[in-house]
Homo-oligomer: A and B are copies of this chain.
């Protein structure tokens, strides 16, 4: 069995990783079609010994596709995902357009693959910080019962796409060459700086990115009462996100059991040997399938609390990899027609 697969947003940073990962993971592709907005249609994309001409993402473009992975922003997803579904194409959507729709499963396959079984054509891929955070928090939830958590993020510029990565690199080069920094992709310079601001602000002072962590965690973990507060910060790192987490549980916690639970969880790994100065760092997590968890210790201000540090590739587990894993799980569970 193999499938006609489409990537919508093929020219973006996540699109590029999707092409690479579909090949690296030997996704059962009959034919790969690269789609994008009219602006990018006609572009030629090369990968290994192949090349594709990007076609415009129109409703008719989905006629012959079995699976389409959307990573081209919420507006395009909102307009075209229903058209694709109407044409019997299953949509895995990397935008936030459908994540909180009660009829749309929001899936991290290692956590809630069973939610795929009731899909109605669209499956949502979670926010990058949320997916990476839950790779550390979910095994702890299974072990101790998650009650509430606080997250402070250290988010790479890849979260703003290829333009974000280009902006950090360009500002760094300009600094070295004593030229003024240009500011385009972010509202302020990011080189040698931090922006406590990711996505738009709501009236209560939170950003949409911060509320995604709260709302998407509740949905993925099926914990509608879960309490969480998140502070999202952009840092001058290229493509791995890091999270400092304080979490409270319903049962007594134990650091060694916490490490064992995370180590046994597919997709997560423990890097937690302070004596050898080993802990997860973003430089080691670009292009890595697993998320790294370390600095695990008893929280000093909570009765049943743990403090920990989680790192994962924003473009992979935070986007392209998780989307493809959703596709793999759909096939495995017989939830996509070929």
A residues adjacent to B (C-beta < 8 A)? 148-150, 152, 154, 172-173, 175-177, 187-189, 192-197, 201, 204-206, 214, 227-229, 231, 233, 235-238, 242, 244, 246, 255, 272, 274-275, 277, 279-283, 294-302, 305, 307, 309
Contact = CB atoms under 8 A, between A and B. Distances in A.
B214 A277 contact: no
A282 B193 contact: yes
A288 B23 CA distance: 52
* In the complex, the 5 A-B pairs of residues with the closest C-beta atoms, listed nearest first: A205-B297, A152-B152, A152-B244, A201-B274, A227-B301
A232 to B, nearest CB: 9
Given A152-B231, A192-B283, A206-B300, 18 more contacts: A152-B152, A154-B194, A172-B175, A192-B236, A193-B282, A194-B242, A195-B281, A196-B280, A201-B274, A204-B297, A204-B298, A205-B255, A205-B297, A214-B300, A227-B301, A231-B244, A231-B246, A231-B309
Contact of A196 (B172, B177, B279): B279
B233 A236 contact: no
* Consensus secondary structure, chain A interface: mixed
20 contacts: A152-B244, A176-B176, A187-B277, A188-B277, A193-B281, A193-B282, A194-B235, A194-B237, A194-B242, A194-B281, A195-B281, A196-B279, A196-B295, A196-B309, A205-B272, A205-B274, A205-B297, A228-B300, A229-B305, A233-B242
Contacts of A309: 196, 231, 233
**Can you tell how many copies of this chain the complex includes?**
2
Contacts of A205: 255, 272, 274, 295-298
A238 B192 contact: yes
Contacts of A280: 196
Nearest to A275: B201
Most central of A192, A206, A255, A298 by chain B CB within 10 Å:
A192
Most central of A173, A175, A246 by chain B CB within 10 Å:
A246
A294 B173 CA distance: 30
B233 A297 contact: no
Contacts of A297: 204-206
Nearest to A186: B277
Contacts of A305: 229
Contact of A173 (B176, B277, B295): B176
A237 B229 CA distance: 25
Contacts of A296: 205
Contacts of A150: 150, 246, 299, 301
Contacts of A173: 176
A93 to B, nearest CB: 26
A265 to B, nearest CB: 20
Given A193-B237, A255-B205, A295-B196, A228 B188 contact: no
Nearest to A176: B176
Nearest to A200: B274
